[in-house]
Structure 1
Amino acid sequence: MMGKPALFPEGTTIAVSIPGGLLNRLERHPEAEQARAEYRHLLRDCLTRHGVEGAESIMRKTTIGDTATEALPWMGREELVATCLVGAMLLEADDLWERGEQAGRADARRCVEVARGEYAGPLPPFMRAFADVYARYRPFWVAQGWEQAMTALGRWSDLMATDPQVIEERITDFEAYMAVRRIDFGFDTLDLLMRKSSSRLTPWEHPVPGTVSLFQDACCEYAILVNDLFSFPREHFSGEFRNALQVLVSVQEMSLQDAVDEVCRRIVTAESNILALSRENTEGSTGGDMRAWRAYHKSWMTFLAAGLRQHLRDVRYHGADHVWRGEIPTRITLYRDQSEFHYT
């Protein structure tokens, strides 16, 4: 169980040391500008048409259109737009539902039925918009893939429907936190998207080879810990304490800097494993099954590169005046409304 959350004063500076080796894997969708414009138009139209409260606020804070054009360059434009719409709704649902309010937990419990288009009762505005974007998304999946996507959505929504206190009681150590966070982060849903990048994997019957499973674990750890490291200032000062740094401080009684060092060490190890396992799993392979996984490995690395870049430049995490200068910072000073990056 997590202990009492530790609080740190504004102006606290942490030293960070993470690699940027994946940044050279960045690509850009050939129709990025058009896809981003379509996504923003359709999202605003959907939210407004269904009368979703705070529609403009949602539009201002969503950056998924920017990230996805770098994270998913292999997708066709229409599928990319549909994926961005679902991603925006899931991110907003995560913000709404993890507060643990009764209405949010009720929406979480029925979200799979809503996504399938099978919920027959009345819905609040946000869930009507949720149904709308999933109806647009469904045609881009083969039957087996859609069923797996709904299973993954169900695991995530079950967690969102759980009382936050019950979830906190599960977090007895760092590994327990990572198990909860893997579901909370929606890793299984993201992994299905990466499998779609290879036409040879779309039948969805392929078992996951052991070394690919290790690659998945490394991708999961990297993605979660990069998110936790750079979202920590915003979450800490807004009272959100489900974060790897907070767990290491509160549960394992580390100092904040020791917790940062541990997270950075794990990010370094995860990146090293991602690069090594990608080479081991795909280079020089003549087996049909492993050839089918090549696009999958490349897609995950491209996605993680885009995620790191977005976390470094995102004004949601670092303040409205934040401008990333293209380097990995060596220190970050934490303030309530901004993070100040230092490069020496």
Structure 2
Amino acid sequence: MTGWRSGPDPTLPFSTTWREFRDELPAHRWARLVAACDASWNGLLRDASATKAGEYDADFDSYLAQRRDGVFVEWIFPILEHVLAPALPEDLVTGPAMQEVHNRVLFHQALATDLFSYRKEYYSGDLINAIEVFQRIEGLSLQGAVDRLCDVIDRNEEEFLLGCEALLGNHPDWHDSLSGYLNALGSLMSAARHWSYTCRRYHGSGSAGDGSEPGTLLLWPDRTEFRPDAP
């Protein structure tokens, strides 16, 4: 669709946008963007294969590691960095502390969408979902698997915040640039949850979530029904 490896092809969709990215980004940042796109496409292909072959038979950690690339978000990081923190040193951006923070963003993207896409995937028969992994491998009930996933999401968010705090504390000279970039990563996480909560693709013909915390979710074949707790 973009021809990112060989350079923008004017006959492909998004070629103009991709050419602007390539012209604007310095070589080291462009290289990371290309590598992220390659990894994401490979992850999507693995997901498609697993849908047909039932390949996700390992434990949850292995499942999450496989799902990390397929969420197709990592390519956004170099662009955010270029816009919000262009002066950050390369060794800081590519170092293990920042990589851990990036992983937390990618894990959240996978986990938040798993939480809200389960109904759609279950009834369409293309389950690549943490809830299904917890049920099949750990023997949990549906409610138990949902509760387990929510706990994992909460812990992942906590680890993200701790990672951000450590980066800011260990690099005071780069506080302003880091703060803007890390806040943007947090906004990506919030956007993933909000989108998943309100997405018609996941929730069908019924009413998607309105932002309130529901007391009960009913998963019908054609819709998700949100029932908030009584006032």
TM-score, scaled relative to structure 1:
0.57
Does the CA-based 8 Å contact 2:116-2:202 persist in structure 1?
yes
How big is the shift at 1:185?
0.9
Aligned residue for 1:331, secondary structure, equals strand
**1:168 to 1:184, Cα distance in 2 relative to 1, 3 A:** farther
Does the CA-based 8 Å contact 2:8-2:19 persist in structure 1?
no
How big is the shift at 1:118?
6.1
Match of 1:233 among 111, 119, 129: 119
Does the CA-based 8 Å contact 1:222-1:267 persist in structure 2?
yes
**1:170 to 1:284, Cα distance in 2 relative to 1, 3 A:** closer
1:264 has 2:145 as partner: no
Aligned to 2:207: 322
**1:263 to 1:335, Cα distance in 2 relative to 1, 3 A:** same
User: In the aligned structure 2, how far is the partner of 1:194 from the partner of 1:168?
Assistant: 35
| Residues 25-64 of structure 1 deviation map (CA, whole Å, 9 limit, x = unaligned) | xxxxxxxxxxxxxxxxxxxxxxxxxxxxxxxxxxxxxxxx
Q: Which amino acid aligns with 1:327?
A: S
Q: Which amino acid aligns with 1:314?
A: C
1:148 has 2:32 as partner: yes
User: In the aligned structure 2, how far is the partner of 1:314 from the partner of 1:160?
Assistant: 20
Structure 2 unpaired stretches of 5+: none
Alignment of 1:79-94 (within 5 A): none
**CA-atom RMSD, angstroms?**
3.0
User: In the aligned structure 1, how far is the partner of 2:97 from the partner of 2:32?
Assistant: 21
Does the CA-based 8 Å contact 1:225-1:267 persist in structure 2?
yes
Alignment of 1:143-292 (within 5 A): 143-161=27-45, 164-165=49-50, 168-169=54-55, 171-201=57-87, 204=90, 206-282=92-168, 286-288=172-174, 290-292=175-177
TM-score, scaled relative to structure 2:
0.81
How big is the shift at 1:164?
1.1
1:117 has 2:8 as partner: yes
User: In the aligned structure 1, how far is the partner of 2:31 from the partner of 2:154?
Assistant: 35
Match of 1:306 among 191, 204, 222: 191
Aligned residue for 2:226, secondary structure, equals strand
Alignment of 1:8-87 (within 5 A): none
Q: Which amino acid aligns with 2:184?
A: S
By relative contact order (CA 8 Å, sep 6+), the higher-ranking structure is 1
User: In the aligned structure 2, how far is the partner of 1:210 from the partner of 1:147?
Assistant: 18
**1:135 to 1:230, Cα distance in 2 relative to 1, 3 A:** same
Aligned residue for 2:14, secondary structure, equals helix
User: In the aligned structure 2, how far is the partner of 1:312 from the partner of 1:158?
Assistant: 27
1:136 has 2:17 as partner: yes
Aligned to 1:340: 225
**1:292 to 1:159, Cα distance in 2 relative to 1, 3 A:** same
How big is the shift at 1:333?
0.7
How big is the shift at 1:285?
5.1
Q: Which amino acid aligns with 2:58?
A: T
User: In the aligned structure 2, how far is the partner of 1:132 from the partner of 1:315?
Assistant: 25
Sequence identity percentage: 21
Aligned to 1:331: 216
Paired residue total: 224
Aligned to 1:294: 179
Structure 1 unpaired stretches of 5+: 1-88, 91-110, 120-127
How big is the shift at 1:158?
2.8
**1:168 to 1:187, Cα distance in 2 relative to 1, 3 A:** farther
Q: Which amino acid aligns with 2:55?
A: E
Q: Which amino acid aligns with 2:210?
A: R
Q: Which amino acid aligns with 2:17?
A: R
User: In the aligned structure 1, how far is the partner of 2:41 from the partner of 2:107?
Assistant: 21
User: In the aligned structure 1, how far is the partner of 2:180 from the partner of 2:19?
Assistant: 22
